[in-house]
Amino acid sequence: MKKNALVEKSYEVAKERYQALGVNVDEALEKLKKVSISIHCWQADDVTGFEKLDNLGGGGIQATGNYPGKARNIDELRKDIEKVLTLIAGDHRLNLHEIYGDFGGKAVDRDQVEPEHFASWMQWAKETGLKLDFNSTSFGHPKSGDLTLANPDKGIRNFWIEHTKRCRAVSEAMGKFQNDPCIMNLWVHDGMKDLTVNRLMYREILEKSLDEIFATKYDNMKDCMESKLFGIALESYTVGSHDFYLGYGAKNNKIVTLDTGHFHLTESVADKISSMLLFIPEIMLHVSRPIRWDSDHVTILNDDTTELAKEIVRANALDRVHIGLDYFDASINRIGAYVIGIRATQKAFLQALLEPTATLKAYEANGQYFERLALLEEAKSLPWNAVWDYFCLQNNIAVGEDYITEIQQYEKDVTSKRN
């Protein structure tokens, strides 16, 4: 039996199995196709960007590995993204950091960035069928140091305030151009390596900087703020902690970003969803995979990712939670890293959408906790993978492991020829 016919046959069996539990598989597939993932541009080139400045590195961020073939310029990065899009289903977004501007080979400092530096990105995204999201970039700059927006030095602080203001203006231009709000993420690495005494002062400074940045109101962009547990060489104290941004977001009606690598390894990010939705308008996710620390490993289909997706679906919050990826593994084929992570995230949401949630909630409401636990366990072995293969087939993309050979061929034809 040919593979496609086998996939279709397996799907029909799986569909009947789910229908017996009251799950509408066709409806689940329609919802999955609408789950838009904001794909991070920085996996393609190891968070290098296209500035012509003296990049000093640092700032709590690091890509590890030296696998050959990384994108060296805008054209190569776009070509790689276009290849990725042929291997995933659905309509997605591209998340840009400010350092990826089209600067025309000129040195444009970060407090001078303009929407024009992203005009070619907007046009390319439109032609490619993508929407754009954006990030300010506080790391890897001569003025980064340990403190940016929380810096007591007014000159340095004002530089980063101006940078972030301009990034918001870029985001507004993107949102207006694409007729869809551009979500701009603000993450600063600010912190200290060792014991910190005046913690309150730096957080007061950061709050005032944010107030100044957000003073201008826009209609075509949305602000979100990302916390972190610690950064490299900033292990003891992070100014922009989860508590800080959660408080600021609730007070000022701002989106808060949850990066799954920015918390203690035993802390459940999924559990935060239902609490935060009560007090802030929306949530932004950066889905990553920490191994012992915020190491930004490629997202895989593990319990953390699956539980995150299930919590969102159970809360009926797909319209209030934005899903983005944030990892940068330079030790393996970068196109492969993209596809593994995106497909893993989609698989997690498919499992969530196929869960017999109505029955589980009914058991819970009736105090039938044995039945709840039993069905949760049995649901783990339901034939969701047959539904996934059909989803790929239905959307004319590689089914199962077939994408491996396509990426190998792309490496042979394209990335292996980059010096």
Task: Provide the annotated active-site residues.
Answer: 187, 226, 228, 259, 262, 286, 294, 296, 326
DSSP string of 260-296, one letter each residue: TTSS-TTS-SHHHHHHHTTTSS-EEEEE-B-SSSS--
Buried b / exposed e over 150-179, threshold 16 CB at 10 Å, is bbeeeebbebbbbbbbbbbbbbbbbbbbbe
Reduce the DSSP state of residue 253 to 3 states and report it. Answer: coil
DSSP 8-state class, residue 115: G
Distance between CA atoms of 197 and 36, rounded to whole angstroms? Answer: 43
> What values do phi and psi take at 128, rounded to 5?
-90, -15
The H or E element containing residue 76 is helix 74-85
Buried b / exposed e over 388-410, threshold 16 CB at 10 Å, is bbbbbbeeebbbeeebeebbeeb
Of 93, 275, 55, residue with least CA distance to 184: 93
* DSSP bridge pairs for 283: 256, 321
Distance between CA atoms of 233 and 65, rounded to whole angstroms? Answer: 19
Of 380, 371, 308, 294, residue with least CA distance to 345: 308
H helices present in 96-135, as ranges: 119-128
Whether residue 381 contacts residue 14, with contact meaning beta carbons closer than 8 Å, is answered with no
| Paired sense of beta strands 191-192 and 255-259, if any | unpaired
